[in-house]
Each structure stands twice: as structure tokens, then as C-alpha cells.
Amino acid sequence: MPEIKVTPLGAGQDVGRSCILVSIAGKNVMLDCGMHMGYNDDRRFPDFSYITQNGRLTDFLDCVIISHFHLDHCGALPYFSEMVGYDGPIYMTHPTKAICPILLEDYRKITVDKKGETNFFTSQMIKDCMKKVVAVHLHQTVQVDDELEIKAYYAGHVLGAAMFQIKVGSESAVYTGDYNMTPDRHLGAAWIDKCRPNLLITESTYATTIRDSKRCRERDFLKKVHETVERGGKVLIPVFALGRAQELCILLETFWERMNLKAPIYFSTGLTEKANHYYKLFITWTNQKIRKTFVQRNMFEFKHIKAFDRAFADNPGPMVVFATPGMLHAGQSLQIFRKWAGNEKNMVIMPGYCVQGTVGHKILSGQRKLEMEGRQILEVKMQVEYMSFSAHADAKGIMQLVRQAEPDNVLLVHGEAKKMEFLKQKIEQEFHVNCYMPANGETVTLLTHPNIPVGISLGLLKREMALGTVPGGAGGQELGCLNGGEGKHGFWWVRVSSFSPHRPPSRCQEAQADARHADHEGQCEWPLSWPGPLAGWQGTRGASGVGWGAPPGHLGRGWARPWEAPPSPDSSSPPPRISGWCPQSRPSRSWAWRSTSSASPAACTSTTRARSRRRSCACTAT
Amino acid sequence: MDIECSRLLPSVCAVLVDPKQFVADDTCLEKLLDWFKTVTEAESSLLVLQENPCLTELLFHVVKLQDVNSNILSFTLRLAGIFAAHENSFQYLQQGEVLLSLFSEAGPLSRPAWEDPSVRSGWIQGVGSMVQHERAVQFLCDCGAIDVIFSLQGDPSLFVASTASQLLVHILGFTMHSRRAVPLTTQDCDWPVCARMIVGHIEESLRSGTVPQITQALNVLTTLFGRCHESWTEVLWMRMNPFVGSLLEKEPLLAAHSLVDLFLSMARPQTLRTKAFNILLQPLACVLQAASQPTGSPGLLDESLNDSVITDILLSSKSSCAGLLCQTLAHLEELQPMSHLLIDWPHVPLLSAVMTILRFCSGLATPASSVGDRLCGILIGCFRVQRSALDFLGTLSQGPSPSELIRGVVEILLVYLKSPDSSPTVLKKAFQATLKWLLSLSKTSTSSDLCPQTQHFLRDLFPILQKRLCSPCWEVRDSALEFLTQLTKHWGGRAGFRQALLSSEVPELAEDLLRDPESYVRASAVTAMGQLSSRGLCSNPIGTGSKNDEKKSLFLELLEILSTDSEGFPRRAVIQVFTEWLREGHTDVSKDKEQFVTKVLQVVSCDLDWEVRVQGLELALVFLVQTLGQHETECPYAVEMSSVTQSTQLTESLQMLCHMKLFDFIFSALCDCDRPVARKSCDILLYLKAKLAHHGSLQGSGEACTESLGTQNTAWLETTLRKWKARDQGQPSEVADRGDCQEPDDVLEVLRSVDLEGLRGTLAKSSDHIEKSPQSLLQDMLATVGILEENEADCY
């Protein structure tokens, strides 16, 4: 019986150290390879011995996919590839490949700086690991081998973040990584087409939260910074090298410009140039506003933000400093904090979570007397603020994505058990699909019912149906589909006791559909320079050569659906559908649920029951 | 346990037993357990329990809570195990029936919390920690825990199931080890009770006919025979033999993989090893046979190959063929270093086989059979097999190969290096294999220069290297540069190599890559150019002066990278090259060392990357050693200079170092916020102090002497540095321009005043050693109680 197996080694009912093993039609894929920043020993990495007991890693795993550059998703990668011994392919998007080594280097340096931490990768290992990475474009179908293919979708969250569809034959799973369904200052919203995977593995950080508008948090942040600077205080914002720091820089830069403020803003590690470089390079991954204004002004070329020099910390008067590392556990941010902590006019804003064992964690938990070197006590009089700028989908966003992708099953990762439980029920109620939330080390096995395309002439089909020899033909319960080449073949589907054959879209209809897409180009917010296989597709689109279309041979594979264009990263909802497109020529919603193989009673899990419930809904719709 | 921790512990325990409270960070409990493990290993665990009754209360109360948090319950079980590992604590806890309430059927096993894998994991880890003495084993047998472990072998959580199997091995090993004096037979009555239970369970599982149970039993046996080689395992094997034997007779074979693993762990006799090795050779023998021409090269195996199973796997699909070949090649690669242990390591046929595979993969082979045809179709363009084969080919360079075959190796390597179809990862492996073969060829050469065969190879290689240095793919450019660096490092002095290199455009192309858009490539280009320059293979001299040459000198080019490159990797590479040049006495650098060092340090001191600054300090140290070391000689026959002369020379040297602003850099590094920089600076100053003390220069006079010796910290130094700066700014402009902001006396004052030894001790500690201390952990746990949950989930 075909099945999909999922075993989280990390991110199963917890946040941090994402690492999920998926076995789909005999292919083994590792989704993310993250580290836990709260540990200083081997526990920071996922326990890979559960893979190595199945033989050599490279033989067991067909590929590793990294969703984005955050360390809880990629931090263990050099360890895995250069120290544990994985030597196979690694996939990630182009921006992730470019930025990942910077974050890894940054963390390696902090770790080395802190000393006493062993079994950590070196700079050379990071480079060797990155050389094994195959970078992918959005919406590009990448053939890992003859059977396994993957495809990336825009996930928002951070620059280059992607959701990945993994497909073997007719079985597929989608892994979201971290994603954000609402656009922010520099990135667009996540989007995926109606790919109807057998399984959607989604993050659930904010499984029970409906988050306030990010604008409110931004306003709050600016108000606090402004007030502190106005009263002559200094603001310290500890950040990690790249990511959230750039978002906050844009915020302050715009605000400073608008308010004509003069207090200096500094960035401590020369990362402004670096960020500038990467955001320029991957401008197509940012939101529409940034792209549109890029020609006149690059949002990442900051007028007000200057490089920091250590001596500036002692300068009198107000200032704002972005300093690394983000948890106040070493280096410059900690040094500045020590200098400024004693003055109640100053403020430290922590824009992210801090693990135990860091000064950041201490001050966030309200501790105001900190022990320093030589039993000295540092009294923290400065104001301490925590402002989450993390860009995860909230409960509404997660539901929206499930609705968008229409999976057969959902599996929750990257969240807390209690919150997951709530969301699980919600998903099961609303979508009538099974929802799973395995703990780390637990395996979820899903039986799948892959479609088996069968070629049959329409005449024969009709005759057989009339005789009642075709499954479902004479009141059978099973639904099915037939698909063949050339015009004489047809689709068929059965609902309880009736069936209707449908002609597949003819070449002529396809051409008409293409023309309609072209008509709508002006309405679709489709970036001209969208990263992806667009250039390769343009050849099929006629003279205009602009906009989106289907690559040759993609129609009818249920994989890249040309009528569902990838959206602009700005839109929080899918792009407008083309009305007037012949509904019969498009596989109906029930297409993906139908199976020519019947499950044995023992194999009929609640998934099958849930599917049956949905079938009737879908059939009514069609 | 220190007093402060003891004081905080009751409050922490109170938080843990309170179901309304919330431990915000999931790592806290793990770290707490780490600490208890350290404490119980360092001092009497019984005393810890007695002096901290809150711990026993915690163990006792948590299990009774109705609404207990599963993480806390898991923590409690593990904590109990840590204490129970010590016999006296075990007895203490037993008296209070704490262990019974935690690990027997009356404990969490019968509660809904058991459904949570973290609780089961905590239970099994607790039991695992406990099994350090016989009383614990007896307790587990009596309370039914052994049966629970049996059932946990089939747990849905991989972690729990795996730990359960490991634990059974541990218990069996422990039980038998403690009874090793008693002679053992296969009779049940001879075995200790606990061992009897486990062995009986294994036997029952092997008989069960169900795959999961058989697999579990075989896994236990595999781990056991792999780990333990004591004599009782042979008796155990005699007991297990019939059961395992009957499994082999079943059709279809159940748990085949686990059976294979078991036999591999048992494979100690030489005959078995040889058989296993022969099996490993079969896929390659099949490949050789498929490719061999009628005149054919000798096969890998003596007997003619007739294993249709192997052939079927190879031909069934691309993935199964690639999988089998990759596994075979990887195993053989691991075995190669042990080839001397194998009587018949077939080096030559293996080399032929791997070359054949590489030919199949690149479409070069002319197969002689239909099997060969199909193999060729399957393998062509298969990167996975190419990578494994190239790895193995590189490994095979460590063996005696006939010259005809070497020619073949060279040809195939050139094909892969040249092929436009080679992926970056394949090319990297091809470069690595090429390097290994080139180096092995030079070893066999008797003359001081390269043999004609190698020189011929190089002539063909450099045009390809040129092409690869211009690849649009940064990974390829980088691999090519790394290859060039390694080759130059090993052969830079050999005429044949120099001639081949200089007659190519490789040095110019490598230099062009100093301006590559990819920082990794720039860094590799810097290293390569540094190496070429050191060996005099660089087209332009490094010339430290800023002459108005038409072409910028290499030094200036690298200096510009050091001062302007936005990425750390190239800057780090530059400073490493400069240090190496100084250390090895590069001709051009030696002409004006002072100017060279001054210019470099001027740039490095402003660098934001602490690794660049640390390397800059290394350069300063090399210069200091070279400067101050020249006043000494270790030669016993040398004429010793008078102490006055020595002292004068030392003062002059110090004066010169001050003029170079070397101490500006070192002192400022001592106050650096990045610990490794401060530590390196401290080490340099301690070296200097020792040097000067040797010459008596530290016995200062006047004002400096009023300072107490070595009691100041870096805050004092920072203030002093600011004071000096202000003083120098007040100097007439011509003095300030001279740049001598410090005088030797100032330096001596710092060396006398700052407590460098104390500072080194502090800097040797981790920068977060206070935050990582147990006391800090307990404080954090108490402080986070009641903190908003929002913070917790927000990882990024």
C-alpha cells in the first residue's frame, strides 16, 4: 500500500531545531536541518543517529531541503554534511544559499568567541557545505532524480524563505517551513497554488493566536525609540546579522526621514553594506513597494544609518545602535549594554526571543541586578522592551493556507503541543481532513491512494459502463478518473450511481486559455523580473513574452496549474482567477481525491472517512 | 552544591510541583539535570538529598499530581534515576518508596500522562541512569519494569524504542558482567534472573513470527554482539543459534536487513570477513564483466560471475543501480585504509572497475554485452555514482598501480575535469582525486623533479584549469583555486611544475579572481595568489611601496581587499597571507618589514571582524618575535653582547615599535569586546613582559614605580589610552605627525600596571560563564515564572 511517513527529529511539538524526515513512495527527504541555540553541546543538533542506523546517510537520504536561512532551520547543515557525513544533494532558494553562510559564520564566531563549546563546524566546513547546495528558483520544478521532484513557493517570513512541494509519481507533500500570510515592510505574503497534496506539513508557531496588525507593533516600536531619543536617551537594539535587522532599519530610516530627526543611528558590524548587497541582488523577492521604488531609491541604501565605531558608545547625547549578537550573550551588543544599562533614560529593545543562559533572557524575565565579572553587580536601570517582529502566519493565516492548498491531510510542526491540539481540532472540523501533530521521534504513517492514469477509448468506456463492469458503473462507491492521450480519450468520474465523461481540453482550448491569461496580464500583479522559470516559459506565450503561462507539457499534470498564477509577493490572497475558462476542461476539485485503487477495510482510516465526506461536497459542486 | 544554589533550590522545586506555574524555556529542565548529574558525581548524592529535602519532596509529590505537566514528570523520572544511580541514594529513596511510586506499575505507567512520549522517554532514561548497581537491577525485576522495557521496544517514538533496546543490552551486559566469575552453560538455571528474563524475551520474540518483534530482538542481539566480546556472549550465541537458524530457513525471509546487521556484528572470523568482502566485490565484478572486451582484463573474483540477483538489481532501475554501486564504492573506500588486513585486496581490478564505472557514467565506455549496454544507459550522467566513484578513485591512489592503468586514470580524470556536463560537486571530487593521484605520482618519482608522465599530465591539465577558473559557477572557480593552492604548496619548488604553470595563463586568471563577485572565490584567490607569490610564481612582484606602476602590486591589491572588502572571508584570507609572508621571510616583504607591518596593522585595527583582528595580532606577534628575538642567540659559541648593549638595542626596538603604532593596536585589542581578540593581545603582552623582565627593563623608575605592580584592569587602560591620545593631540603638529603617540616608557608603564596574568585567567573563561552557572540557571527559572507565553514561541 503506498504510504507517506513523517518523523520529526526536531520541531515535533516544539519550536527550534527543525528537522523532519519524510518518506514518500520510497524516497527519503530531510526537511530542514536546524539547530537549537539554547544548548552548548551536541543537543543543539538533531539526533541523526536515527538515520545513520539505517546505513550510510547519503545512501538513505535522497535529498535535504532547507526552507530558509534562520539557524533553527539550517544551523545544523554544515555539521550534518561535513561532520556526520551526508554527501548528497541539498536544495534551497538562491537568496537562502547566499545568506545562509553569513548567518552560519556569524553564529560560529559567537560560539568560538564564547569558548568552551566543542564539536562545532569551521569556516571551511561552511563553505564546503554551501558548495554542495543546489539553488532553486521559485516555481521551478527540480528533478532530484528520475522519480523525485521538488518545487518552491514563496513563503514571505524572511528574504528567500520558501515552501516546498515534494512529489514522487502522483504522491505529494508540501512543507511550509516558516511562512507569513500577510505582507510586511519588505516582503510579500506566502502563496501556494491549489496543489492538493496528500499531506501539508505546516508550521504552527501561532497556532492559537490571531496577531495584531504588524503596523501596530511598528508604531509602538517607533514611538518608544522616538520618546527615548527625544529625552536624550540611547537605544540599543540587539539583532542577528541579517533578517529582522533590515526590516527595523527600513522602519527607522523612513521615520527619521519623515520626522527629520538628527540623532545618529548606527549599525555595529558593517552589515548594512552586506544587507544592501543582498537585497539589491534579490530585489525580486521583496515586496512590490520596494521593487517599484528601487529604480528611484534603493530602500536599503540608508541615509541615516551609519557604521558604528566602538568609541561612539561613550559619546554624549541620544543615539540608536543596532548591535550583534541578538541575545546579548557576547560581543558588541553586550559591551554596549553594560555601558548603557545604568542610565534610566536609555532603552534596550529586544526584537526576538532569547534562550536561557543569555543576558537577554535575564532582562526579559525582569531581572534587574545582573552579576558581572568578578562578582560585580550591574544594576539595570535602562528600560527593557520586548517587541516581537517575527513574521509567522497566525491561526487565520494557517487556515488560509490549508484552504489554498487543499491537502488530504495536515501535519503540524514547529509549535507547542497544547496550541497545536487546538488548531488540529479546528482544521479537522473545518476542512474534514485528518490532522496530525507527532512529537519528535514519532512516526506518522499515511496511506495514500495514488491516481493511476488509465488509457481507454470513450466508446469502450461507455459500453463497459452500460454493462456495469467498470468499478462504480453500477452503483459502485468508488470514484475514478481516466486520462488518455489524443482527443478520443476522456476523463470520467463517478458519483454514487452516475458518471459523466469529460473531454480533455483540446490544444485549441489551451491556446484560448493562454490568450485569456494574456488579456489579464495587466490585472495580475506579476513582477516582470520574478525569479523562477518565467524566462523559460515565455517562449510558449507568444509575442508579448511578458506575464505568466504554463511551461510546455505542464497542463494536466496537476502540478503547475497555469490558471493559478503565482502572485505578486504583496498580495495576501491568490491572484484573480480567470473567469470564463471552461470549467469542464479543468480537472475538477474532486480529481485529486479519486482513486482507482480501493482501500481494504483495514486500511480505511479516518482519513478515508473524511475523504468520503468531502467527496459528496465536491460532487455537488461539480 | 554551593550555598546560594542550596538556598534557591526549594523555591525552584516549589515552582516545579506547582501545576499552575510554567517553566518558560524548555532547555532549563535539561540543564538542571546536567547540573544534578555533575553534583552527584562530584559529591555524595545522599548528602545532597539529605541537605536538600525539597528534592525528595519533589520526587514524591510530582508523581501524585493529577494535572502534572508531562515535561515536569519526565524531568522528575530522570532526576530520580540520576540519584538512584548511587547505591546509598537508591536505598534512601527506596525507604521512602519514592522509586516504587515512580517506576512501578503504580506510577505514571497507569496514568494518562503515559500517553505522552516525553514521559515514556523520561521513564526509560531514569531507569537507564539507575542501572549502575545490582540493587537497581533487582528492583527493576521485582517491580515489573523489565516487562515495561520490553513493551517500550515497540514504542511509536523512535527515541523511546531505541533507548529501550539499548537499555536491555545495558542491563544484560551489566548483569552478566557482575556474574562473570560463575561458569555459564546454555542451561537457563545458570543465568541470573534478570538475564534469564531478557534472554527469554529475545527467544520468544525470535519465535514469534512477527516482523516487528523479530526485528527488535535481532537489534538487541546486534548491539550486544557489536559492543560486548566477553566469553558469555559465545554461550548466548549458542542459545540463540537455533532460533536465528530457523529464521533463515523461513520463506520469505523475515527481517532480512536486521539479520544481515546481526551477521555483520558477528563477523569476526577471517573466513566470514573474506566472504563478506567477496560479496562486496560482486557489483563491481558485474560491471567489469559487462564492460570487458573479448580479450578482457582480469575480473575481481576468481570464479565466473553468475549472481543474477546482483545483475538484476543493477539493471532494474536507475535508482537501484546507483544505490547499489554507491554503497559498494563507499564501503570499499572505508576498507581501503585497512587493505593490508585483507589478504587479497584486489587493487588493480578495483581500479579497473572504478574506471569502467566512470567511463559508463561519462558515456565513454564501449560495452561488450547487452548488460553493458543497459548499464551504460542507466549510468550515463549519473552524478551520484560519479561522485562516489571519484572519491574511491582518489582513495585508490594509495596503492601500487601499473603504468598503463595510471595512464587510464589520468585520461579519465582529464575527461571529467574537461566535461561541460560535470556538475560542480562532481568537479570538486575530480579535482580532489586528481590532486591525490598527482601527489602519489610524485612520491614514486625518484628524481627531484617530476616524472615525464606527470609533466605530460600537467601540460594537459593547465588549459583545463584555465577554463575552470573562468567557469560561470562560483563553486567550480573556487574548487579550481583550492586545487591550484594545494598543487603550488606541494610542488611550487619543482621546475617542471613551475614551467608548466608559468607557460599557462593560470596565474593571471587567479589574479583576476581577486575581484570575483563571490566572496568565497575572492578569499580562495587571495590564498592562491599568496601561495604563488611565496613560491615566486606570481607575475608581478608584491612591492610594498605605492609606486606608480602601470599594474598595481599584489601587496596593494591585497591591502585594498583588506581595507574595502565588505565580506570577512577575503579579508581574513589576506591577513593570513600577510602573516605567512612575514613568517617565512618573503623576499619582497623582508626588504622593508616595518613599512609592511605598519601599513597592514593600520588597516586591520579598524576591521569589524574579530577574526581579522586576531590574525592581525598574530602578525604583530610574528614581527615582535622577529624583532626582539634577534637580540638573542641560542648558539653557545656566539659572542655574548654586554647587558648594556642588549638593553640599548631593546630600547631602540621598543622605540621603533612605538613609532610603528604597534602598541596602539595591541593595547586597544586588550580592551576589545570580542574575547578572542583580548586574549590574543594579553598573550602577546605577557610574552613582551617576560622578554623585558629578562632584560630587567621592567624595573622602572620615577612616577611609574609609584603604581602598584599589576593590579589595574582594562578600564584603567582605556582611560590611560584616552589620556595619551589627548596628550598627543596637544603636541605640536610635527610631533603628532610623527605618529609616536607612545613612548617606550608608556609601554613599560602599562606592562607594569595591568594585571595581565589575572586578565588571562578571566579571558580564558567563556564569555557567558556567569549566565551559564547553576546559580544563574536557578535564578532564571524563578524569574521566568509567570512570564507571558508569547515570548516562548517566538523563536525568530
Q: DSSP secondary structure string, B524-587?
A: HHHHHHHHHHHTT--SS----S----SS--HHHHHHHHHHH-SSHHHHHHHHHHHHHHHHHT-H
Give me the mean pLDDT over the B348-353 stretch.
90
Of B387, B566, B792, the CB nearest to A270: B566
Q: At residue B731, does pLDDT exceed 90?
A: no
Q: Are B347 and B396 in contact (CB under 8 A)?
A: yes
φ/ψ of residue A167, rounded to 5: -135, 130
Of B326, B520, B795, the CB nearest to A15: B795
Query: Of A401, A412, A353, A396, which is closest to residue A155 (Cα–Cα)?
Result: A401
φ/ψ of residue A493, rounded to 5: -145, 150
CA distances from A141 to A138, A517, A533 (A): 9, 21, 9
What pLDDT, in 10s, does the model give residues A31-56? 999 999 888 888 899 999 887 776 67
Q: Which residues contact B81 (CB under 8 A, 6 or more apart)?
A: B125, B126, B127, B128, B129, B130
User: What pLDDT, on the 0 to 100 scale, is given for residue A204?
Assistant: 94
User: What pLDDT, on the 0 to 100 scale, is given for residue A199?
Assistant: 97
Q: At residue B642, does pLDDT exceed 80?
A: no
User: What pLDDT, on the 0 to 100 scale, is given for residue B118?
Assistant: 92
Choose, from A149, A171, A203, A218, the residue flagged as catalytic.
A203
Chain A contact present for B503, CB below 8 A? no
What pLDDT, in 10s, does the model give residues B499-514? 899 999 999 999 999 9
Q: Which range (B76-80, B238-242, B433-437, B787-791) has the least confidence?
A: B787-791
Q: At residue B456, does pLDDT exceed 80?
A: yes
Q: Which range (A98-102, A273-277, B142-146) has the least confidence?
A: A273-277
Distance of alpha carbon B336 from alpha carbon B399, whole angstroms: 9
Work out the mean pLDDT of chain B and round it to a whole number. Answer: 84
C-alpha distance from A490 to closest chain B C-alpha (Å)? 31
What pLDDT, in 10s, does the model give residues A396-427? 999 999 999 999 999 999 998 888 999 999 99
Chain B contact present for A52, CB below 8 A? no
Q: Which range (A27-36, A516-525, B39-48) has the least confidence?
A: A516-525
Distance of alpha carbon B76 from alpha carbon B74, whole angstroms: 5
Query: Of B55, B113, B123, which is closest to residue B89 (Cα–Cα)?
Result: B55
DSSP classification of residue B471: -
Q: Which residues of B touch A416 (CB under 8 A)?
A: 792-793
Output the pTM of the full model.
0.83
Distance of alpha carbon A406 from alpha carbon A577, whole angstroms: 16
C-alpha distance from A174 to closest chain B C-alpha (Å)? 22
Amino acid at A247: E
Give me the mean pLDDT over the A101-125 stretch.
82
pLDDT confidence of B543, banded at 50, 70, 90?
A: low
Helix (H) or strand (E) holding B35: helix B27-42
pLDDT confidence of A539, banded at 50, 70, 90?
A: very low
Q: At residue B628, does pLDDT exceed 60?
A: yes
CB contact under 8 A, B608 and A443: no
Amino acid at A131: K
Chain A contact present for B135, CB below 8 A? no
Neighbours of B268 (CB within 10 A): 9
CB contact under 8 A, A16 and B768: no
CA angle B601, B605, B606 (to 5 degrees): 130
Among A residues 141-200, those touching chain B with beta carbons less than 8 Å apart: 145-147, 158, 178
Query: Of A264, A246, A248, A255, which is closest to residue A300 (Cα–Cα)?
Result: A246
Of A43, A330, A442, the CB nearest to B768: A330
Instruction: Say which residue, B308 or B603, is predicted with more confidence.
Output: B603
User: What pLDDT, on the 0 to 100 scale, is given for residue B482?
Assistant: 97
φ/ψ of residue A610, rounded to 5: -60, -40
User: What pLDDT, on the 0 to 100 scale, is given for residue B710?
Assistant: 63
Of A112, A205, A335, the CB nearest to B673: A335
What pLDDT, in 10s, does the model give residues B158-171? 999 999 999 999 99
User: What pLDDT, on the 0 to 100 scale, is given for residue B643?
Assistant: 65
Distance of alpha carbon B666 from alpha carbon B605, whole angstroms: 9
User: What pLDDT, on the 0 to 100 scale, is given for residue A272?
Assistant: 60
Q: Are A516 and A578 in contact (CB under 8 A)?
A: yes
Chain A contact present for B35, CB below 8 A? no
DSSP classification of residue B268: -
Q: Which residues of B touch A127 (CB under 8 A)?
A: 478, 520, 569
Distance of alpha carbon B411 from alpha carbon B388, whole angstroms: 18
Chain A contact present for B28, CB below 8 A? yes
Q: Which residues of A touch B608 (CB under 8 A)?
A: 268-270, 307
Pair type for strands A347-350 and A265-267? unpaired
CB contact under 8 A, B772 and A357: yes
Chain A contact present for B568, CB below 8 A? yes
Distance of alpha carbon A412 from alpha carbon A435, whole angstroms: 7
Chain B contact present for A390, CB below 8 A? yes
pLDDT confidence of B567, banded at 50, 70, 90?
A: confident
User: What pLDDT, on the 0 to 100 scale, is given for residue B268?
Assistant: 62
Give me the mean pLDDT over the B654-665 stretch.
88
Q: Which range (A401-410, B216-225, B435-444) has the least confidence?
A: B435-444
* Bridge partners, residue A90, by sequence: A64, A133
Q: At residue B685, does pLDDT exceed 50?
A: yes
Distance of alpha carbon B466 from alpha carbon B508, whole angstroms: 10
Is there a catalytic annotation at residue A203? yes
Predicted ipTM of the assembly? 0.88
* Bridge partners, residue A91, by sequence: A65, A134
Residue of chain A nearest B792, judged by CA positions: A353
Instruction: Say which residue, A147 or B188, is predicted with more confidence.
Output: A147
Residue of chain B nearest A372, judged by CA positions: B770
> What would the grid cell of residue B509 be?
586568471
Domain A3-210+391-447: assigned CATH number? 3.60.15.10
Q: Which residues of A touch B791 (CB under 8 A)?
A: 353, 364, 386, 388
Grid cell 488509465 — which residue? A454
Work out the mean pLDDT of chain A and round it to a whole number. Answer: 75
CB contact under 8 A, B795 and A390: yes
> What would the grid cell of residue B47 be?
548528602
User: What pLDDT, on the 0 to 100 scale, is given for residue A4?
Assistant: 95
Q: Which residues of A touch B428 (CB under 8 A)?
A: 131
Distance of alpha carbon A560 from alpha carbon B361, whole angstroms: 32
pLDDT confidence of B181, banded at 50, 70, 90?
A: low
Q: What DSSP string describes A527-575?
A: -TT-SSTHHHHHGGG-SS--S--PPTT-TTTTSS-TTS----TT-SSPP
Q: Going from the N-terminus, what domains does chain B have, and what CATH number goes with each?
A: 1-143 (1.25.10), 168-268 (no CATH), 271-294+305-402 (no CATH), 553-572+589-630+650-696+713-730+738-754 (no CATH)
Residue B603 CA to its chain's centroid (Å): 32
Give me the mean pLDDT over the A135-153 stretch.
94
What pLDDT, in 10s, does the model give residues A564-605? 334 445 444 443 333 323 333 333 322 222 233 333 333 333
Q: Are A196 and A558 in contact (CB under 8 A)?
A: yes
Residue of chain A nearest B157, judged by CA positions: A442
Instruction: Say which residue, B677 or A563, is predicted with more confidence.
Output: B677
Helix (H) or strand (E) holding A277: helix A271-281
Q: Which residues contact A245 (CB under 8 A, 6 or more apart)?
A: A237, A239, A267, A271, A275, A322
Q: Are A29 and A420 in contact (CB under 8 A)?
A: no
Q: Which range (A331-335, A561-565, B107-111) has the least confidence?
A: A561-565
* Bridge partners, residue A6, by sequence: A22, A444
> What would the grid cell of residue B365 be?
565506455
Give me the mean pLDDT over the B624-637 stretch.
72
pLDDT confidence of A538, banded at 50, 70, 90?
A: very low
pLDDT confidence of B272, banded at 50, 70, 90?
A: low
- The per-residue b/e assignment along A73-111, b for 16 or more CB within 10 angstroms, e otherwise, is bbbbbbbbbbbbebbbbbbbbbbbbbbbbbbbbbbbbbb
Give me the mean pLDDT over the B300-327 stretch.
73
**What percent of chain A has a predicted confidence (pLDDT) above 70?**
71
Chain B contact present for A116, CB below 8 A? yes
C-alpha distance from B157 to closest chain A C-alpha (Å)? 4
* Max Cα distance, chain A (Å): 93
Distance of alpha carbon A454 from alpha carbon A482, whole angstroms: 5
User: What pLDDT, on the 0 to 100 scale, is given for residue A587?
Assistant: 34
- The per-residue b/e assignment along B620-657, b for 16 or more CB within 10 angstroms, e otherwise, is bbbbbeebbeebeeeeeeeeeeeeeebbeebeebbeeb
CB contact under 8 A, A113 and B26: no
What pLDDT, in 10s, does the model give residues A445-455? 998 876 666 77
Best residue of A69, A81, A115 to probe chain B, by most B CBs closer than 10 Å: A115
* Bridge partners, residue A134, by sequence: A91
Domain ranges of chain A: 3-210+391-447, 214-386
Chain A contact present for B158, CB below 8 A? yes
- The per-residue b/e assignment along B350-376, b for 16 or more CB within 10 angstroms, e otherwise, is bbbbbbbbbbbbbebbebbeebbebbb
Distance of alpha carbon B270 from alpha carbon B284, whole angstroms: 22
pLDDT confidence of B255, banded at 50, 70, 90?
A: confident
Chain A contact present for B26, CB below 8 A? yes
Grid cell 536505598 — which residue? B91
Chain A contact present for B384, CB below 8 A? yes
Of B384, B674, B770, the CB nearest to A113: B674
H helices of B63-157, where? 70-84, 87-95, 98-103, 117-130, 134-142, 145-152
Query: Of A20, A398, A357, A368, which is closest to residue A182 (Cα–Cα)?
Result: A398
Instruction: Give chain A's radius of gyration (CA, Å).
Output: 26
Among A residues 433-452, those touching chain B with beta carbons less than 8 Å apart: 439-443
The torsion region of residue B274 among left (phi > 0), alpha (psi -120 to 50) and beta comes to alpha
Query: Of A585, A457, A578, A592, which is closest to residue A518 (Cα–Cα)?
Result: A578
Q: Are B478 and B524 in contact (CB under 8 A)?
A: yes
Instruction: Say which residue, A334 or B796, is predicted with more confidence.
Output: A334
Amino acid at A116: G
Q: Which residues of A touch B28 (CB under 8 A)?
A: 356
Chain B contact present for A352, CB below 8 A? yes
pLDDT confidence of B447, banded at 50, 70, 90?
A: low
CATH topology (fold) of A214-386: Rossmann fold (3.40.50)
> What would the grid cell of residue A189 be?
505574503
Among B residues 387-426, those touching chain A with beta carbons less than 8 Å apart: 387, 424-425
Residue B318 CA to its chain's centroid (Å): 34
Q: At residue A521, does pLDDT exceed 50?
A: no
> What would the grid cell of residue A373 be?
565579572
